[in-house]
Chains A and B, each alone.
Chain A
Amino acid sequence: MSNLAVLPIVMPLIAGVLLAFFHNKLPLVRTLAKVLTIINFLVVLYVFYYVINNGSVVLETGGWIAPYGIILVADIFSITLVLTTNIIALATVFYAPLTLSKKQEEFYFYSFFFLLITGVSGAFITGDLFNLFVFFEVLLMASYGLIVLGGERVQLRESIKYVLINLFSSMLFVTTVAFLYSVVGTVNMAQIAERVGEVEQKGVLTTIAILLFFVFGTKAALFPLYYWLPKPYTVPNPVVSALFGALLTKVGIYSIIRIFTLIFVYQTTFTHDLFLWIAVFTLIFGVIGALSTNNIKLIIAYNIIPAVGFMLLGVGILNETAVSGTVYYLVHDMLIKAALFLLIGAIVHLTGTTDLKKMGGLIHHYPLLGWMLFLAALILAGIPPFSGFIGKLLLLQGALLNGEILVVIIGLLSSLLILFSVMKIFIRAFWGEENKEIQPNRKMANKLTIPAIFLLFFSVLLGVGAELFYPGVKNISAYLLDPEIYIQSVLKE
């Protein structure tokens, strides 16, 4: 049954290649893409069910035993994230034909889409540091293809910056892996963890840890490395923005969580305290960015940054409550960011502008869209009983357990400002004077809202059914905080 671990990677890969052959037969490609996404989702659901019941699935690819070959590890943490990724894929694949132009769809949108899912799932599942780099490149390559889709002036201008910063951080990643290899003599994450543990992370190892953090911090858009994120995320089509906002930065933060709960956990006074303060600054500056603009896409793109800050907070605090908060918040944020980008994309598509000042009175024409945006804003800001609240509660509880009062205050304050920044969209776009120039298209609006409702449903479920999910999240947290389980499951000593 260990082959199950490779399915979430191989299935979208095959789908992506397959769809490249019929790229100009649109009706066929659309149906095929939807069917393949659903099949993929069902398969991942089965793998998830299997992992929950039987523990981690470890696949030694090509029959090379653990420390020598590349290994894939589908454990409870990674498979949960892969499942969330596939839920988002499901929503976006139904949304895509509505906002993409025919030309964009024909130019291999669905192939890039599936390759992006391949890269993201691969990055979550792999148990090999160099293989993580390879999957990062897979997902980045797909994202380069997606971000320039359409080829408008602004889009090209912003995408070159996106490609350059990611290329630079990838090269740094390779260099850091080389450093680590020269010190510990392996790239298998479990074996690295074991060997770092043996010497208790002495000497140059902490330096390498910070270098790795720098690399992942660039990908995850942490303070002070977030400057590249907001603009490139606003220029492509809303579907692409939703995929980027929901998945790409989360892969970065996932890597930080994985590396700094499994491998570099012996010098916490240095590394993890640093993370705590970086997280606080990320919160503050992300929120300031979100408040600074009237471009609705930019507001949501800036909102990615404080969310990443919250997740890093849990890694910085590193106790069981805080880490379970991080896990909860990670799943919550993937869902809600995708939903928000889809809703904002719908508004932009319907009004033809991203400027808040040119909108108004949309609630008359699109009540469903309006109230869904309102709900999404409440979930994002963490109003009880929604999922953002549970995540933040656990994180701040964890911070209080460690006596970090200042962190708690800043966390609460930034939540309030996040609520304000998103509510601004609701108030300015949906209330107020009606703009007579915009022709209402209610049927289209409802069609565009349905995929977002699908995501919001899971988000609400995650919040209201917290009682149901909390034991699972707590399990993941306990699992993450005990590196021995991971090492044992991979190296089988």
Chain B
Amino acid sequence: MEIIMSILSGILFTTGIYNLLQKQLLRIIIGTALISHGAHLFILTMGKLKRGAPPILEYDISQYTDPLPQALILTSIVISFGVTSLLLVLAYRVSKRNETDNMDLLRGNENE
């Protein structure tokens, strides 16, 4: 299971990076979203995947899932959600003010 999940997050990373290297702003943002999904899936996988076990340790329970990656992933999801929404607004403003969403044309030059 862990191997499949690792491969899946690897696929998310590659597609994310492919999109990140595009010129259109919206595609770049989709790329960052994909990468963050890959990273989140990866955190969960790294804590070992177990089904049907509670994330708490009590005296009579011998099987339990690691609660820490779940706490980490939750924090990370919230943060990337916030950043992605900010990025969308920012991209909208950038394309509106500069009248282009092509990164090639957004390069800029010296001394302005």
Contacts and interface: CB of A to CB of B under 8 A. Distances in A.
A151 B111 contact: no
Contact of A156 (B75, B76, B90): B90
B106 to A, nearest CB: 5
A340 interface: no
A168 B47 CA distance: 23
Given A157-B94, A187-B68, A144 B86 contact: yes
Given A137-B79, A187-B68, A178 B43 contact: yes
B93 A156 contact: yes
Interface residues of A, number: 37
B46 A134 contact: no
B86 to A, nearest CB: 6
A174 B77 CA distance: 11
Contacts of B35: 168, 171
A295 B106 contact: no
B82 A164 contact: no
B86 A157 contact: no
A144, A163, A175, A179 — which one has the most chain B CB atoms within 10 A of its CB? A175
A425 to B, nearest CB: 15
A163 B87 contact: yes
Contacts of B76: 133, 174
B20 A168 contact: yes
Contacts of A154: 108, 112
Contact of B86 (A163, A170, A231): A163
Given A160-B90, A167-B32, A151 B46 contact: no
A152 B96 CA distance: 11
A172 B45 CA distance: 16
Given A171-B32, A174-B43, A181-B68, A159 B83 contact: no
Interface of B: 20, 25, 28, 32, 35-36, 38-40, 42-43, 45-47, 68-69, 72, 75-76, 79-80, 82-83, 86-87, 90-91, 93-94, 97-98, 106, 108, 110-112
A293 B28 contact: no
Nearest to A234: B112
Contacts of B42: 175, 178
11 contacts: A144-B83, A144-B90, A153-B98, A160-B25, A160-B106, A171-B80, A172-B39, A174-B43, A181-B46, A181-B47, A293-B110
B108 A157 contact: yes
A294 interface: yes
Given A157-B108, A174-B40, A174-B76, 14 more contacts: A137-B79, A137-B83, A148-B90, A151-B97, A156-B90, A158-B108, A159-B90, A159-B94, A160-B87, A171-B35, A174-B39, A174-B72, A181-B43, A295-B111
A354 interface: yes
A177 interface: yes
A29 to B, nearest CB: 23
A355 interface: yes
Contacts of B20: 164, 168
B29 to A, nearest CB: 9
Nearest to A155: B97
Contact of A167 (B46, B69, B87, B93): B87
Given A156-B90, A168-B32, A295-B111, A178 B46 contact: yes
A171 B39 contact: yes
A182 B36 CA distance: 18
Contacts of A152: 97
A182 to B, nearest CB: 4
B50 to A, nearest CB: 14
A178 B39 contact: yes
Interface in A155-203: 156-160, 163-164, 167-168, 170-172, 174-175, 177-179, 181-182, 187
Q: Which 8 A-B pairs have the closest CB atoms?
A: A182-B46, A178-B46, A178-B43, A156-B94, A174-B39, A175-B39, A171-B39, A137-B79
B72 A187 contact: yes
A406 B69 CA distance: 46
A134 B95 CA distance: 30
B97 A177 contact: no
A108 interface: no
A79 to B, nearest CB: 26
A177 B32 CA distance: 18
A179 B6 CA distance: 11
A354 B111 CA distance: 8
Nearest to B40: A174
A156 B82 CA distance: 18
A199 B39 CA distance: 27
